Structure 1
Amino acid sequence: MAMLTPVSVALPDNKEPTKTMVRDIVATFLTKEWPFVDPETLTTSYHALFANGHCRVERPKPTTGIPAEPLRVFIKFHKETGDMEIFKHLVPSKQEEALFCYEYGRSGLGAKVYGLFQTRDGTLGRVDEFLDARNMEPEDVENAVIRADVARGLAMFHAMETSLAKKAVEPFYEAILNGLKKYHKMDKLKVLGKAGGVSVDNLIDYDFAARLKKVVGKLESVGGKAGWCIHDVQFMNVLVKNDPKEGESKIVLVDFEFVMRNYRAFDIGGHFMQKMFKWFDEESKIADCRKYTEEERRHFCEEYAGQWNKLTGDSDTGDQVFVESEYGYMLAITFDVHNMLCFMTEEDDKDPLNLLGLNKLFDEFVDQYARLGLEVP
């Protein structure tokens, strides 16, 4: 199922497929009814993001009989980008990602993968099951039921058995420490901030690398455990089902381009942190909501620990997971800070909304670092 299949389609320069192209791609894997669909009857919705493009596709319901194949599918198109250069030796290849998604889908936790393809122009992509769901909003996790489902979902993801090779955690931190050192005190970034009308001088002069090293040391000292981490745990990568079946989880995790081994605290703390951000909002990257309360975070960690123990046979407590998450909060912030500084450098980005979001990340890191007493020598 995760074998790469060539398709007789060449995408245009803007990479947006026509309806005929969409039909032909889907028909490569769904061969009973899709090949005979009139492309003009398709309803398609294409969206281009920085790293990828995706297309939602729906065909009309047959006039007679029960459909033998899905009426709706989701197509993901991968773009070639250089913004993650320092992590390229760690992240899965597109085929490995497809295999991971396939295994995740087979587990019943995520969308089924119908096939992995390559177009004649070299674009890689995937045809997935369409999920009847919406992007999670910050307010959703204030609902205890949804919050518990996210916690259990992350625990199942982190403990998942997969064909991917388990790599050590240390190379990730070697890479990100080197990246943060590169941007430390970089004049170009200060100039871009001033051009955008938002000073980021304090952030650029802040030694994230030295402090991140200390955070990792503290996490190791409390016995932080590793698992398969998503890394990109922004709320757009958690879907809330519109009509879940009774007893079924209300959420689904998506977007596994950056899946690799890391401390589970990275995703847990990152989830708490990401409640405050809406990175694809056109008016503000900072969400208009309150932070996760301690009571909510402890509830999340209790639910997580219960699910983790059920899968692994461990006997972790919610308190243990909570302590790990306190350090993971800062791990996730440094990852986002690094990637935003990389984007600024490569793209000369000076969008004031991005700059304000960057400063918000900085403030959160400084506050958390001080709150945990790590500034004390």
Structure 2
Amino acid sequence: MDEPKKVLLRIYGQVHGERAMDAIVTESVIFTLLSERRLGPKLHGVFSGGRIEEYIPARSLLTKELSEPALSMKIAEKMAAIHSMDVPLSKEPNWLWKTMGKWMKTVKEERLSPSYNVKNDEERRIIKQLKSVDFDKEVEWLKKFLATVDSPVVFCHNDMQEGNILLLEDEIQSASDDEYTFDDSKKSQYVLTQYDDTNTSDSIHSHISDSGEPKLVLIDFEYCAYNYRGFDIANHFQEWSYDYTNPESPFYYENQENCPTLEQKEIFIKEYLKHYLSNHSEDKDVEPSIDDINQLLSEVDAFALASHLFWCLWSIVNASKSQIPFGYWEYALSRLETYLRLKQEVVKKDKYGFPQKRKICEVDI
């Protein structure tokens, strides 16, 4: 057997606490299953502080490429494949609420506590705005609200943003045209080729297979768990509005006008359902009904709120903790403001049975 010329060396880093170790064990089980099923890279070896994986050259997508029709439809297909997996993990949909609950504890006891050491006036301003919101009540309201939404529980990626979707280089496409899905644990910079807007050979068209479809690889299964399908799709759609390539503070661009249109959502959802239904049927040409599409659209609209509140809490927790240069406080406020705006729209529309004329702060929880 020929030894690989290139490999990816994954170092776990410091592990603190039983929960952190449990997360590594769970992630390793998922990676091994993906490898055995040829849905991920080969596992070359393991050691006490990490593992050795197959190296697959590729580049991450750009935010603007998420709306490219061919890429969007391929992402929908990949998501359907993940959602069709049967993984030996708890299938109870408690990951979302357990994770938010854990982050809430840190938010209250550390980041938004009076003892937190504020670094500058801008940070003080943002923290003051964040403190004006009762996060306990918001999470309680959201949980009650989403309980009225019928969304199937499936194995989800839970973080399908452009940085976690790679476009493979031509030379790695195997003769059998195998597809890869693998875990990169937010270390994609070690396996990506440099993207250059001026390099025409690195365009989307240079990553198209003989079948005319883009060759994509999904990475980063750090947040992988059984969850509501509405969350996974809604979360992906929200990422159309956030570009994390800004070289200056706050190190991201936000443009809510880039959110997918209704037509773009419908195209994505139809493609997703087509593949998901065919994965669970002997009929490989099954077409989703209008009712199926509309049902999933409703799920996505509802779970968009969960996506914003989830990443708001994540950002608050990582503020001052993470060594990565990023405007965590600004990002937290942005996601919170969008959450509150969408929540107000939901209440006004009376779409899910809430009173129309009462103020948002008066909604029963």
1:79 aligns with 13
Q: Is the 8 A contact 1:189 1:204 kept in 2?
A: no
1:197 offset after TM fit, Å? Answer: 6.3
Question: Which deviations, in whole Å up to 9, do the C-alpha atoms of 1:318-342 show, x marking residues without a partner?
Answer: 2222211122222222222222222
Gapped regions of structure 1 (runs ≥ 5): 1-31, 33-67
Q: Is the 8 A contact 1:169 1:263 kept in 2?
A: yes
Q: Is the 8 A contact 1:92 1:260 kept in 2?
A: no
1:17 aligns with none
2:253 aligns with 287
Larger mean Cα displacement after TM superposition, 311-320 or 133-142: 311-320
Report the CA distance shift for 1:126/1:190 in structure 2 as closer, same or farther (over 3 A).
same
1:144 offset after TM fit, Å? Answer: 0.6
Question: Which deviations, in whole Å up to 9, do the C-alpha atoms of 1:243-278 show, x marking residues without a partner?
Answer: 353346522111112222111222211111122334
2:140 aligns with 213
Corresponding residue to 1:159 among 70, 84, 92: 84
Q: Distance in 1 between matches of 2:168 and 2:270?
A: 23
List aligned pairs for 1:24-103, cutoff 5 A. Answer: 68-80=2-14, 88=19, 93-103=23-33
TM-score normalised to the size of structure 1? 0.68
1:187 aligns with 114
Q: Distance in 2 between matches of 1:249 and 1:108?
A: 19
Q: Distance in 2 between matches of 1:92 and 1:357?
A: 29
> Are 1:139 and 2:64 counterparts?
yes
Q: Is the 8 A contact 1:152 1:303 kept in 2?
A: yes
- Secondary structure, aligned partner of 1:187: coil
- Secondary structure, aligned partner of 1:126: strand
Larger mean Cα displacement after TM superposition, 305-314 or 253-262: 305-314
Gapped regions of structure 2 (runs ≥ 5): 171-207, 348-353, 355-359
Considering only aligned residues, what root-mean-square deviation do their CA atoms show, in Å?
3.2
Corresponding residue to 1:262 among 227, 233, 247: 227
List aligned pairs for 1:204-283, cutoff 5 A. Answer: 204-243=131-170, 244-247=208-211, 250-279=215-244, 281-283=246-248
> Are 1:298 and 2:266 counterparts?
yes
Question: Which deviations, in whole Å up to 9, do the C-alpha atoms of 1:289-314 show, x marking residues without a partner?
Answer: 52332322222122112222122349
Q: Distance in 2 between matches of 1:253 and 1:95?
A: 20
Report the CA distance shift for 1:288/1:332 in structure 2 as closer, same or farther (over 3 A).
closer
Q: Is the 8 A contact 1:92 1:259 kept in 2?
A: no
- Secondary structure, aligned partner of 2:147: helix
Corresponding residue to 1:338 among 313, 316, 323: 313
Q: Is the 8 A contact 1:268 1:325 kept in 2?
A: yes
- Secondary structure, aligned partner of 2:253: coil
1:182 offset after TM fit, Å? Answer: 5.5
Question: Which deviations, in whole Å up to 9, do the C-alpha atoms of 1:61-85 show, x marking residues without a partner?
Answer: xxxxxxx343332222112255xx7
2:334 aligns with 360
Q: Distance in 1 between matches of 2:158 and 2:32?
A: 19
> Are 1:309 and 2:277 counterparts?
yes
2:100 aligns with 176
Report the CA distance shift for 1:160/1:240 in structure 2 as closer, same or farther (over 3 A).
same
**Sequence identity (%):** 19
- Secondary structure, aligned partner of 1:98: helix
Question: Which deviations, in whole Å up to 9, do the C-alpha atoms of 1:36-58 show, x marking residues without a partner?
Answer: xxxxxxxxxxxxxxxxxxxxxxx
1:288 offset after TM fit, Å? Answer: 5.7
Corresponding residue to 1:111 among 30, 41, 56: 41
Report the CA distance shift for 1:160/1:182 in structure 2 as closer, same or farther (over 3 A).
same
Q: Distance in 2 between matches of 1:189 and 1:273?
A: 30
TM-score normalised to the size of structure 2? 0.71
Report the CA distance shift for 1:271/1:81 in structure 2 as closer, same or farther (over 3 A).
farther
Report the CA distance shift for 1:302/1:209 in structure 2 as closer, same or farther (over 3 A).
farther
Q: Distance in 2 between matches of 1:278 and 1:188?
A: 33
Q: Is the 8 A contact 2:76 2:269 kept in 1?
A: yes
Q: Distance in 1 between matches of 2:82 and 2:332?
A: 28
Q: Match of 1:134, as an amino acid?
A: R
Question: Which deviations, in whole Å up to 9, do the C-alpha atoms of 1:210-251 show, x marking residues without a partner?
Answer: 233333333332311111222333321111223353346522
2:54 aligns with 129
Report the CA distance shift for 1:256/1:171 in structure 2 as closer, same or farther (over 3 A).
closer
2:296 aligns with 321
Larger mean Cα displacement after TM superposition, 222-231 or 166-175: 166-175
Report the CA distance shift for 1:98/1:174 in structure 2 as closer, same or farther (over 3 A).
closer
Q: Match of 1:231, as an amino acid?
A: N
Q: Match of 1:160, as an amino acid?
A: M
